[in-house]
A and B are shown apart, each in its own frame.
Chain A
Amino acid sequence: DAKTTQPNSMESNEEEPVHLPCNHSTISGTDYIHWYRQLPSQGPEYVIHGLTSNVNNRMASLAIAEDRKSSTLILHRATLRDAAVYYCILSRHQTGANNLFFGTGTRLTVIP
């Protein structure tokens, strides 16, 4: 399975935008890009996913490079509640397994 590379940690000021990068240079044409986050003492929660085009939802935006070898999760205004570990994950959805390889993610610290 294709793997992703993320920085171990990042910091952001409250109410500032945050750009969380992810490299996935071995991505295949059928791999979906997923982002999950894990708040302290909780299970992971879905944030967003995409295949080729940029995606927006109420939580975040996902910007996907044209060659799909990298992507960026954008939180438009960081709040203290956004402090979490963010995981960038690839999955081949057509396998039907929803098998997500989480890796170690990026720990986001939000500074008041």
Chain B
Amino acid sequence: EAQVTQNPRYLITVTGKKLTVTCSQNMNHEYMSWYRQDPGLGLRQIYYSMNVEVTDKGDVPEGYKVSRKEKRNFPLILESPSPNQTSLYFCASSRFTDYEQYFGPGTRLTVT
């Protein structure tokens, strides 16, 4: 089944404790991205990647890092999480030339 998976689905952590949210897709998509969703603000893009070893900032990249060492994986790294990064995070992927993005199920992160 074609899908985007994210792990973990729920995470509660403390300020400053490094964490990684994994994202994997099995559709051989070139393009992957991370969004965060906050009440009243909709979804905002954090980082995106157009292919392996090619990443770029989205609209709200501060406090986040990403890497794209393999085509299927695009982890989101929070080196020193803060409470303002409490949010619902979505990973998405698509073919570079396609119009349809596929979204993962979301990761709800709480930073206390």
The reply to whether A45 and B48 contact each other, CB–CB distance below 8 Å, is no
B27 → chain A closest CB, angstroms: 13
Q: Considering the complex, give the chain B residue whose CB is closest to the CB of A103.
A: B42
Q: Considering the complex, give the chain B residue whose CB is closest to the CB of A46.
A: B100
A8 → chain B closest CB, angstroms: 10
Q: Considering the complex, give the chain B residue whose CB is closest to the CB of A32.
A: B99
A20 → chain B closest CB, angstroms: 16
Q: Which residues of B contact A96 (CB under 8 A)?
A: 31, 50, 96
Task: Tell me if B's interface is mostly helix, strand, loop or mixed.
Answer: strand
The reply to whether A99 and B99 contact each other, CB–CB distance below 8 Å, is no
Surface stretch bound by A, among B12-20, B65-73, B76-84, B103-111: B103-111
The reply to whether A42 and B105 contact each other, CB–CB distance below 8 Å, is yes
The reply to whether B103 and A102 contact each other, CB–CB distance below 8 Å, is no
A12 → chain B closest CB, angstroms: 22
User: Which residue of the partner chain, among B48, B90, B104, contacts A98 with CB atoms under 8 Å?
Assistant: B48
- The yes or no answer to B45 lying at the interface (CB within 8 A) is yes
Scoring A34, A87, A100 by chain B CB atoms within 10 A of each residue's CB, the highest score goes to A100
The reply to whether A98 and B103 contact each other, CB–CB distance below 8 Å, is no
Q: Considering the complex, give the chain B residue whose CB is closest to the CB of A43.
A: B103
Scoring B4, B33, B101, B104 by chain A CB atoms within 10 A of each residue's CB, the highest score goes to B101
The reply to whether A46 and B50 contact each other, CB–CB distance below 8 Å, is no
Q: Which residues of A contact B94 (CB under 8 A)?
A: 98
List, sorted by A's number, 5 A–B pairs whose CB atoms are closer than 8 Å. Answer: A42-B106, A43-B106, A87-B42, A98-B94, A98-B101
9 closest pairs, A vs B, by CB?
A: A43-B103, A102-B43, A46-B100, A102-B42, A104-B42, A49-B99, A103-B42, A43-B90, A44-B103
